[in-house]
């Protein structure tokens, strides 16, 4: 008799514009009405592969963040990062770049002139209340590929497959690229205290027997000690695994800010539009417009995002 499989909830992305006047289109998996977070992961944008000659690539002028960390992971192309902490870095495939906004930061993201195809994932991690005002900082890490039966892993954050990333996080998290060989099957030992999400980038993957196609995010609740993944197309597939302990805090998320109350969001918006010292200035960005003003707030009181239960019904 087959062992019971871990139930999987399928989250379908929606297409949204990213950035200013020359916005590129991304597929947004989180947040959704049905599920706002997976662990502390509160935002997942998946984009490409895009022909930059047709789309114009990524051109996001200086904009703010608070109360979160951004995690950038590319499969193809190159993006120039500048921030108000004085960091000027290139985001390249196979290299994780993590920016901690904390109390406040501003940054720009622009695909480089030599980029012909742009393909990657942008993620946010909500900072817990005790850490959400930490000073801004930036980390860069090149994870070594780890061969496992049926495929390969690259551990961005946390621990998986006996490998631990040196990148600092403020809550229990994991993030890893998973590559399946053609027709490959692998089993991942995971932390049962974590909930997990698997975002399929290429091919189609069976997660615990549930079929996920490109762009879909499969969610598994807490309690699983092992997750089985299988390449279904026979051509190989690639996915991004994210997970963490249930966050356990209500967050108010609007535009580029993560806060706890409506009034905090109002204050952050006013400070950004007044070019307050809280966010600093991005040096070296020469595009137009020179920065992105915050949009008008909706005429309602912003409420905390209520997450679905940390389990999936069988």
pLDDT of residue 311: 74
In a domain, 291, yes or no: no
In a domain, 212, yes or no: yes
State which H helix or E strand residue 69 sits in. Answer: strand 68-76
Whole-number CA gyration radius for the chain:
19
Residues 110 and 190 in one domain: no
Residues 134 and 17 in one domain: yes
Query: Residue 159's domain is classified under what CATH number?
Result: 2.60.120.10
Mean pLDDT of the chain: 94
State which H helix or E strand residue 313 sits in. Answer: none
138, 99 contact by CB (below 8 A)? yes
Residues 129 and 259 in one domain: yes
* Mean pLDDT calculated for residue range 22-44: 91
Instruction: Reply yes or no on whether the pLDDT at 234 is more than 80.
Output: yes
Extract the tokens encoding 6.
């871990």
Residues 121 and 266 in one domain: yes
- pTM of this prediction? 0.95
Residues 138 and 18 in one domain: yes
- Cα-to-chain-centroid distance, residue 106: 18
Q: Give backbone dihedrals phi and psi of 130, rounded to 5 degrees, phi first.
A: -70, -10
CA neighbor of 279 nearest in space, from 136, 130, 87: 136
In a domain, 114, yes or no: yes
Extract the tokens encoding 66.
């608070």
DSSP conformational letter for 90: E
Extract the tokens encoding 102.
């904390």
Confidence of residue 52 (pLDDT cuts 50, 70, 90): very high
CA neighbor of 171 nearest in space, from 312, 54, 41: 41
Query: Buried b vs exposed e over 49-88: b needs ≥16 C-beta within 10 Å?
Result: ebebeebebbbbbbbbbbbbbbbbbbbebbbbbbbbbebe
Overall domain count for the chain: 2
- Cα-to-chain-centroid distance, residue 100: 13
Confidence of residue 34 (pLDDT cuts 50, 70, 90): confident
Structural domain boundaries, residue 43: 13-142+252-277
* Mean pLDDT calculated for residue range 154-182: 98
Note the helical H segments in the chain. 52-55, 262-273
Instruction: Reply yes or no on whether the pLDDT at 80 is more than 80.
Output: yes
């Amino acid at each position: 008799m087959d062992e019971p499989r871990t139930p999987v909830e399928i989250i379908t992305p929606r297409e949204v514009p990213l950035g200013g006047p020359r916005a590129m289109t991304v597929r947004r998996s989180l947040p959704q009405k049905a599920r706002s977070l997976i662990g502390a992961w509160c935002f997942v944008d998946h984009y490409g592969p895009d022909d930059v000659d047709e789309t114009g690539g990524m051109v996001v002028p200086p904009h703010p963040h608070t109360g979160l960390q951004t995690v950038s992971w590319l499969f193809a192309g190159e993006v120039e990062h500048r921030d108000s902490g004085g960091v000027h870095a290139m985001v390249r495939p196979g290299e994780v770049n993590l920016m901690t906004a904390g109390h406040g930061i501003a940054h720009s993201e622009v695909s480089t002139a030599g980029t012909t195809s742009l393909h990657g994932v942008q993620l946010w991690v909500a900072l817990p209340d005790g850490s959400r005002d930490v000073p801004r900082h930036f980390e860069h890490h090149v994870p070594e590929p780890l061969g496992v039966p049926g495929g390969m892993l690259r551990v961005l954050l946390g621990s998986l497959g006996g490998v631990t990333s040196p990148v600092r996080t403020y809550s229990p998290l994991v993030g890893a690229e998973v590559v399946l060989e053609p027709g490959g099957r692998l089993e991942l030992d995971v932390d049962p205290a974590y909930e997990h999400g698997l975002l399929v980038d290429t091919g189609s993957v069976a997660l615990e027997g549930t079929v996920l196609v490109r762009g879909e995010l499969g969610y598994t609740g807490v309690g699983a000690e092992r997750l089985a993944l299988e390449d279904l197309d026979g051509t190989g597939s690639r996915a991004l695994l994210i997970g963490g302990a249930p966050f356990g805090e209500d967050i108010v998320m609007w535009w580029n800010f993560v806060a706890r109350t409506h009034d905090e969001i109002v204050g952050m918006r006013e400070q950004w539009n007044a070019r307050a010292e809280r966010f600093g200035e991005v040096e070296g960005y020469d595009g137009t417009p020179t920065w992105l003003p915050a949009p008008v707030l909706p005429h309602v009181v912003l409420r905390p995002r209520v997450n679905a239960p940390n389990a999936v019904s069988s």
